[in-house]
Amino acid sequence: MANEADNLDRAADLTRARAEAQIAAVRLQAAPEQVQNPDGTWPVTECVVCDADLGKRAELGKIRCVRCQERRERGGAQWPR
Ligand SMILES: [Zn+2]
């Protein structure tokens, strides 16, 4: 039954690879999009799409307001940025 064991190994490998890809995708989504300046300020404090004030979102390393971020995640890529 060596063949069946090989198949199980392969299935486990596929499952693992898929889980790792999903984790990487989530990590990328949560990752900061800008880096804080040494003086504590943020290089981007306004939404790069609509120029709205980012407020606390800048401190989370975000560069888009909630509205533009949601639009982007929905896949509405009307803007190249
Ligand atoms: Zn915006």
Nearest to 58 by CA among 36, 27, 38: 36
* pTM score of the predicted model: 0.60
Mean pLDDT of the chain: 89
For residue 77, report the distance from its CA to the centre of ligand 1, in Å: 13
Q: How confident is the model at residue 21 (pLDDT cuts 50, 70, 90)?
A: very high
The domain spans of the chain are 1-31, 32-81
**C-alpha–C-alpha distance, residues 62 and 32, integer Å:** 6
**C-alpha–C-alpha distance, residues 60 and 24, integer Å:** 19
81 touches 69 (CB < 8 A): no
For residue 50, report the distance from its CA to the centre of ligand 1, in Å: 4
For residue 46, report the distance from its CA to the centre of ligand 1, in Å: 8
Q: How confident is the model at residue 3 (pLDDT cuts 50, 70, 90)?
A: confident
